[in-house]
Structure 1
Amino acid sequence: MNHSMNLTAAGSTEAADTSQAQHLRTLAPRPLALDETGLSRHFLTELMIKHLYDAGLLTLKQLMQRTALAGPVLEVLIEFLRKEVMIDVHGQGFDKRELSYGLTQRGRESAIDAYARSGYLGPAPVPIQRYREVVAAQTVHHTNVTAESMNQLFTNVVLRDSLKQQLGPAMNSGRAMFIYGPAGTGKTYITQKLTGLFTDSCLIPYAISVNEQVISLFDPLLHQPVEETVQAPSLMFDQGYDPRFVNCRRPEVITGGELGMDMLEVHFNPVTKEYQAPLQLKANNGIFIIDDMGRQRATPMEIFNRWIVPMEEKQDYLTLGAGRHFQTPFDQILVFSSNINPLDLADEAFLRRIGYKIYFGYLQPDEYSRIWQQVCAEKGIDFTPELLDFALTQLHARHEVGLRPCHPRDLLGMAQDRVRYLGGDAASLDTQSLSWAWDSYFVSLDADVEMSPNSVTGRNSHV
């Protein structure tokens, strides 16, 4: 019985993998001829001789792996380069059966000239028009978020139903959202978990080509390949999807106070002569979170104004050198997160363009208690109702400090640090250790009296 069930499950998994593979081949079929790449012979030969210049000698298989081009395409390029006396054919290995290719003097000179024009060295890029088509076909806005998927995602997270009922429809809407509320109320943590609603993958190109200017797009720090479908270029020319793409989980791009306007434009490195895609291009088919809104290097209005056209038209307009403009898709869920009142950051005209404004406030005592118990279980701390009651009544209520999701983890962790330092049992905490953690965690504004000679009065408050 169990054996039959295992066979059925294995068969279902294999069928799903086959279906996914077929979907990818349909979405981005592998180019088997030069004209199917969307790139010119001149461009591809320059890319090929740069790879040969970099490596010295390469076999056909190695060239396939480096350029992500099929054998028939490379064979056309090799034949052309041989006629132009730019490459030589060499034997390799004991039996001399595997041929390798290297540059002639003329080929090396041409490669140096090619490097002077563009320093890009990687897989062949995807033409911008093909990229637009693939992004549209795998749009993030076709993801259907349901109440069931929201509840499943936040099964072990304390999040009130009213917030789930706002976040879920917002994810389905295709519109930007503004999440705001006091610091420490879980805005960043919750928004980062939203990518868990995406159960599918998407194809990300290594690079795109705009009039044969190459812009690197795939970023290993932001794009996570799906291991089950990772493919290496093989000699089976008619199998697999276009290897100029990587099958990845839907992107999650997060930026905070480091964000500057230059990070939202194509960046050109004059030393390496390479173009790098901006953050929003890397976030296509995924989610782009701008955290700590209002604390960036750029002003809030500069950042907001940058998004007006993309949010309305679902298109972005970027610039290459010499003022050349081009259009890219803007297919992502854009999330602004801030602990500053939205009305202090943007005018009402802009806020109207943001479909959802979602407030994250302080916790209720029962929500705080559930988080407290979760943290105790995670840290191996014995839960006692008396210690929790002390935190609620003698610390939070007495000092008039609102209940935030970050407090249980921070306070219990610091109290545990003290117990370990004193050689005690880290599983058993008392009110003395918790009070010590409270005093170490919060900054009393009474300290202004001692730290600033100009202070006239001190306030008994905590931040």
Structure 2
Amino acid sequence: MNNDQRLHQMLSEPAENTEPPILNRSGFRTGEDAAPAMRPRNLEETGLSELYVADLISKHLFERGVLDLGEVTRCIALPGGTVEQVLAFLREQGRAEVRGATQGGMLRFALTDRGRAAAMEALGRDGYIGPAPVLLSQYTSLVAHQTMSAHGLDREQVRLAFEDITIRSEVLDQLGPAMHSGRSIFIHGDAGTGKTFIARKLARLMSGDVLVPHAVLVADKAVRLFDAGAHEPVSGTPPETSLFLNQGHDPRYVLCKRPVVIVGGELTMDMLEVQYDTATRIHHAPAQWRANNGMLIIDDLGRQRMRPDELFNRWIVPMEESQDHLSLNSGQHFQVPFDVALVFSSNKHPLELADPAFLRRIGYKIRFEALTTDEYRGIWRQECARQGFEADPVLVEFMLEELHGSSNVPLLPCHPRDLIGLAMDYLSYMGQQTLTRESLMKAWQNYFVDAGIAGKERES
């Protein structure tokens, strides 16, 4: 068993002192812990009204023209029997008609003139076209079932997850308890100290896969939640989990890795609200909603257009109540669960961004600092290996003593990657392959812009 398999096994084990769940004959947890992702057997179990599903099918037919029963079923991700029931309703209402059959005998359907008019009205109210949404109450139950707090972390798991990364032991012993607790984290330190890199790697500590619905129904409006940029579908067969039937989970959900959503200096307060596209009439979930059951990293804190205290205040209620308050473009207010590992990252000291009272609400403040010489050597070796060649100890000592030492440039985790990359560019241009002092010197001169560093000519 390799290290990745060992880590997966360790993270997948339930926390100690938890009783095994009671399973029903379908493999789902029963009672209050019942899994919310069962395949609906009929329209009633979806919680959706017949009229809503009829409008959704009408929108698909309006967009596609003619669809057979199987195609409609795949479009809205509901059982064939439910689709047949709603298509019969549309035919009774004079909104749909049969347009022949496939070679296999499956009926094909299209809208009538009356049906096209009704579909246009439905699109005017809500432009969403896709798999049938899930109810907000169903989604809330799902998030609770998939909460990251279901599995604990210990020191061995954290060290195994980061064994291929050079990181200070005491920093790991801060990050580990922070992720174990589920509290928010404030990572700060000078630029280039590896804050964003390590924050992304924290995803290794988030065990298990999660189900993400394509859309959630709020006040008869579908809010699109699944986002290919934030949610990475899991390939292959589903993992062993009580969320699944033998036939698979409810197809209105996508099985994904736990999401990691990163926002930076481009973040505005509007981006933390439900986005409504006036052209398509579709509602889109904000960043923190897409990050549910995963991690939200707010990078470059202090560089956003809004004041830092304004941004911090936005998180007080979600952090304390585990709920976020949102609204649709119509003004309809609603609440969604907030099950997010919230990570702030900034080059500035926390006291420059928020008052001590708010900082106390953030569980962990972790400072990233410049490297020791041994840590620098370790990262240098890792970067050389990544580039496909063996590290020359003479060259790394040249970097430490001749370049960093004489210029008083602090040892930052980004330096080996950036400088070796620039040196490789030079070597490729010159038709050479072996890393040399000359190529590293060229990289150094191109990299630094301070007058006392890059402008300093070294005598040969």
TM-score range, shorter chain: 0.7 to 0.9
CA distance in 1, matches of 2:354, 2:264: 17
Q: Is the 8 A contact 1:88 1:104 kept in 2?
A: yes
Structure 1 equivalent of residue 69 of structure 2: 60
Structure 1 equivalent of residue 225 of structure 2: 217
Secondary structure, counterpart of 2:170 in structure 1: helix
Secondary structure, counterpart of 1:208 in structure 2: strand
Structure 2 equivalent of residue 141 of structure 1: 149
CA distance in 2, matches of 1:241, 1:100: 27
CA deviations 1:306-358 (Å, max 9, x no partner) are 11110111100001123221000000100001111111011111110000001
Q: Does residue 89 in structure 1 map to residue 98 in structure 2?
A: yes
CA deviations 1:94-127 (Å, max 9, x no partner) are 46x1111111111111111111111110111111
Q: Does residue 43 in structure 1 map to residue 52 in structure 2?
A: yes
Q: Does residue 251 in structure 1 map to residue 259 in structure 2?
A: yes
Structure 2 equivalent of residue 11 of structure 1: none
In structure 1, which of residues 429, 436, 439 is the aligned counterpart of residue 436 of structure 2?
429
Deviation of 1:381 after TM superposition, in Å, equals 4.3
CA distance in 2, matches of 1:179, 1:195: 15
CA distance in 2, matches of 1:80, 1:286: 41
The 3 A distance-change label for structure 1 pair 244 and 383 is closer
CA distance in 2, matches of 1:92, 1:278: 42
AA at the equivalent of 1:378: R
Structure 2 equivalent of residue 166 of structure 1: 174
Structure 2 equivalent of residue 124 of structure 1: 132
CA distance in 2, matches of 1:56, 1:299: 50
Structure 1 equivalent of residue 109 of structure 2: 101
CA distance in 1, matches of 2:414, 2:268: 28
In structure 2, which of residues 414, 420, 423 is the aligned counterpart of residue 412 of structure 1?
420
AA at the equivalent of 2:203: T
AA at the equivalent of 2:263: T
In structure 1, which of residues 68, 71, 85 is the aligned counterpart of residue 80 of structure 2?
71
Deviation of 1:400 after TM superposition, in Å, equals 1.1
Q: Is the 8 A contact 1:382 1:428 kept in 2?
A: no
CA distance in 1, matches of 2:36, 2:332: 29
CA distance in 2, matches of 1:74, 1:186: 52
Structure 2 equivalent of residue 442 of structure 1: 448
Structure 1 equivalent of residue 8 of structure 2: none
TM-score using structure 1 length: 0.87
CA distance in 2, matches of 1:381, 1:94: 60
The 3 A distance-change label for structure 1 pair 238 and 447 is closer
Q: Is the 8 A contact 1:229 1:247 kept in 2?
A: no
Q: Does residue 33 in structure 1 map to residue 39 in structure 2?
A: no
CA distance in 1, matches of 2:393, 2:64: 67
The 3 A distance-change label for structure 1 pair 340 and 239 is same
In structure 1, which of residues 183, 207, 232 is the aligned counterpart of residue 191 of structure 2?
183
Q: Does residue 268 in structure 1 map to residue 276 in structure 2?
A: yes
Structure 2 equivalent of residue 226 of structure 1: 234
Q: Is the 8 A contact 1:411 1:434 kept in 2?
A: yes
In proportion to residue count, which structure has more helix?
1
CA distance in 1, matches of 2:445, 2:295: 38
Q: Is the 8 A contact 2:376 2:413 kept in 1?
A: yes
Q: Is the 8 A contact 2:134 2:216 kept in 1?
A: yes
The 3 A distance-change label for structure 1 pair 238 and 165 is closer
Secondary structure, counterpart of 1:318 in structure 2: strand
AA at the equivalent of 1:58: L
The 3 A distance-change label for structure 1 pair 365 and 114 is same
AA at the equivalent of 1:62: E
Deviation of 1:286 after TM superposition, in Å, equals 0.3
**Aligned Cα root-mean-square deviation (Å):** 2.4
Task: Mark the structure with the bigger radius of gyration.
Answer: 1
Q: Does residue 208 in structure 1 map to residue 216 in structure 2?
A: yes
The 3 A distance-change label for structure 1 pair 412 and 241 is closer
CA distance in 1, matches of 2:456, 2:322: 49
User: Unpaired segments of 5 or more residues in structure 1?
Assistant: 1-18, 232-236, 449-457
CA distance in 2, matches of 1:352, 1:190: 23
Q: Is the 8 A contact 1:126 1:207 kept in 2?
A: yes
Structure 2 equivalent of residue 395 of structure 1: 403
Structure 2 equivalent of residue 157 of structure 1: 165
Secondary structure, counterpart of 1:298 in structure 2: coil
Structure 2 equivalent of residue 282 of structure 1: 290
Greater shift, 271-280 or 143-152, is seen at: 143-152
